[in-house]
Amino acid sequence: MKLLKIGISGVRGIVGESITPPLVMDFASAFGAFVGGKLVLIGRDTRVHGPMLQSASAAALLSSGCDVVDLGICPTPVLQHAVRARRAGGGIAVTAGHNDIQWNALTFIHSGGTYLNSFQGAEVLDLYHLGRTKKADTDHLGTLTGDAGAAEGYFEALGAFLDADAVRRARFKVVIDACSGAGADLLERFAALLGFDLIPINNEPNGFFPHDPEPRPRNAQQVVSVVKAVGADAGFLLNSDVSRVSLVSETGESLSEEFTFPLLADSYLAGRSGVVVTNFSTSRMIEDVAAARRCPIVRTKVGQSHAIQALFQEEGVLAGEGSGGVAIPAFQSAFDGFLTMGYILEILARSGKRLSALAGALPRYHIVKEKIYCPPSIIHSVVNAAEALFHGRAVDTGDGLRVEDRGGWVQVRISATEPMIRVIAEDRNKERARVKADEILHELELLMR
């Protein structure tokens, strides 16, 4: 089974199986046609096969007549910012985010610095399927230049957006685990911007992930022990392209990645009103937080593309996901790990409260996230058939199946990135969440036989 996931805003797969130079080139050529031969910026995370996808993309774009600027190793939010700042036609982020080391992906960035929305994504896919790409002759080929300066412009803008002085005055001690991803090597600059005392972990941008590049408690042992040892004010875990963050409090408690978004929202929404966008799989915490601020919630399918598309449609003020990705459109409409960390430090500085206290003030839910392998050929049928399990109850089919109950909710959906069915259950009661998830998993196994 060769795994290839074609999503709205890109293509993702296992390198050497589905991700090969010709495939990457075909998609990059389609994107080159989509941007109409304008400038395209390419950045990558630190995965060892990143240079392969980068070179293949560059070759195809040059052949399509696009000028290309190679940003080298570059976090996706920094790339997104640079696309907008330089008025480029678009960008390609070579990163598989939180997926393990065998995976890589092309994520296409629109000229506005955002992930492609579903209409734009469909257009690229049509161009790919049609093979209707441009092949420039020698005189009209694009030119390739290197550039390492994207981070400067990004951090300058970030410093202007945040209350950097407030953070600086607090003189925090902060532990950050870059997971040897694209954030590595930029942490010092980030620390200098906000004047905190940085204790970096896994800060070599070599692509040898010391643990799964997914910010969540099970990967947080190193941060937890360092936070305790040095008495840090906060600990952060990043994914490989700095689009997601999870938190470790000053007590060394590793907070579920579900906390990042509501914790930031609780402060950001104070004094603001507007739509908050999240997905169907995100904890109810955000509903309680938004309700307290009288902000309506709009739920979308999982994924940055959907969230950002809804953000624009609803003219929302904030978007985020339970996976630790948060976008503040006043800065940029992108899940942005540096912005997330920076804003949380600003909250700590302005409120004078400890991270554990801020987390403790949030409503407590227990969330269980499970996944089960399902062959792609039957995956949709299995999820459709699963609707029978909820007979008589109101099923929201906005993303898979989602059913609310008194204590929480349960969701069954197809993974956007892997051939997996995800089962997510949340409840105020820990036991009940577990039982709800296990029941569904059992039924799914029966359905797949």
Partner 1 sequence: MKATTTLKISISGARGIIGDSLTPQLAASLAQAFGTYIGGGPILVGRDARRSGIMLSEAVTAGLLAVGGQPIDAGICSIPTFLYLTKAHKAAGGIAVTASHNPKPWNGLKFISRDGLYMTPHQTEEFLDIYHQGEFAYVPAERYKTPTSIADGNEPHLRKILAHIDADKIRRRRFRVALDCNNGAGAVLGPRLLAAFGCDVVPIYAEPNGEFAHDPEPLPENIAEVCRAVREAKADIGFVQDADADRLAVVDEHGLPLGEELTLALAARYVLSKKKGSVVCNLSTSRVIDDIAAARGVKVFRTKIGEINVVEKLLAVKPRAVIGGEGNGGVIYPDVHPCRDSFTAMGLILEALAETNRPISALAKTLPRYVMIKEKIEGSAERAHRLVGLLKKQYETRGKVDLRDGLKVEFADHWIHIRPSNTEPVIRVLAEARTKAAARRAIETLKTEIARLQKKL
Q: Give the footprint of partner 1 on this chain (CB under 8 A).
A: 14-17, 20-22, 24-26, 47-49, 51-53, 55-56, 58-60, 62-63, 101-102, 135-144
CB of residue 165 vs partner 1: minimum separation in angstroms? 41
CB of residue 55 vs partner 1: minimum separation in angstroms? 4
For partner 1, the closer of residues 96 and 358 by Cβ is 96
For partner 1, the closer of residues 25 and 193 by Cβ is 25
For partner 1, the closer of residues 14 and 362 by Cβ is 14
For partner 1, the closer of residues 54 and 278 by Cβ is 54
For partner 1, the closer of residues 47 and 81 by Cβ is 47
CB of residue 407 vs partner 1: minimum separation in angstroms? 42
CB of residue 375 vs partner 1: minimum separation in angstroms? 22
Among candidate residues 353, 266, 359, the one with its CA nearest the CA of residue 318: 266
Q: Give backbone dihedrals phi and psi of 51, rounded to 5 degrees, phi first.
A: -60, -30
For partner 1, the closer of residues 100 and 404 by Cβ is 100
CB of residue 181 vs partner 1: minimum separation in angstroms? 14
CB of residue 34 vs partner 1: minimum separation in angstroms? 17
For partner 1, the closer of residues 54 and 279 by Cβ is 54
SS (HEC) of the chain: CCCEEEECCEEEEEECCCECHHHHHHHHHHHHHHCCCCCEEEEECCCCCHHHHHHHHHHHHHHCCCCEEEEEECCHHHHHHHHHHCCCCEEEEECCCCCCCCEEEEEEEECCCCECCHHHHHHHHHHHHHCCCCCCCHHHCCCEEECCCHHHHHHHHHHHHCCHHHHHHHCCEEEEECCCCCCCCCHHHHHHHHCCEEEEECCCCCCCCCCCCCCCHHHCHHHHHHHHHHCCCEEEEECCCCCCEEEECCCCCECCHHHHHHHHHHHHCCCCCCCEEEECCCCCHHHHHHHHCCCCEEEECCCHHHHHHHHHHCCCCEEECCCCCEECCCCCCCCCHHHHHHHHHHHHHHHCCCHHHHHHCCCCCEEEEEEEECCCCCHHHHHHHHHHHHCCCCEECCCCEEEECCCEEEEEEECCCCCEEEEEEEECCHHHHHHHHHHHHHHHHHHHC
Q: Are 200 and 176 in contact (CB under 8 A)?
A: yes
Q: Which two tokens stand for residue 360?
A: 């403790």
Rounded-to-integer distance, Cα 232 and Cα 221, Å = 15
CB of residue 47 vs partner 1: minimum separation in angstroms? 7
For partner 1, the closer of residues 17 and 405 by Cβ is 17
Q: Which two tokens stand for residue 256?
A: 């579920």
CB of residue 45 vs partner 1: minimum separation in angstroms? 13
CB of residue 7 vs partner 1: minimum separation in angstroms? 21
With the C-alpha atoms ordered 335, 244, 295, 159, is the resulting torsion angle positive or negative? Answer: negative
Q: Are strands 68-73 and 144-146 parallel, antiparallel or unpaired?
A: parallel
CB of residue 225 vs partner 1: minimum separation in angstroms? 28
For partner 1, the closer of residues 132 and 364 by Cβ is 132
Q: Give backbone dihedrals phi and psi of 366, rounded to 5 degrees, phi first.
A: -120, 125
For partner 1, the closer of residues 137 and 431 by Cβ is 137
CB of residue 418 vs partner 1: minimum separation in angstroms? 16
Among candidate residues 142, 145, 147, 146, the one with its CA nearest the CA of residue 61: 142
For partner 1, the closer of residues 25 and 167 by Cβ is 25
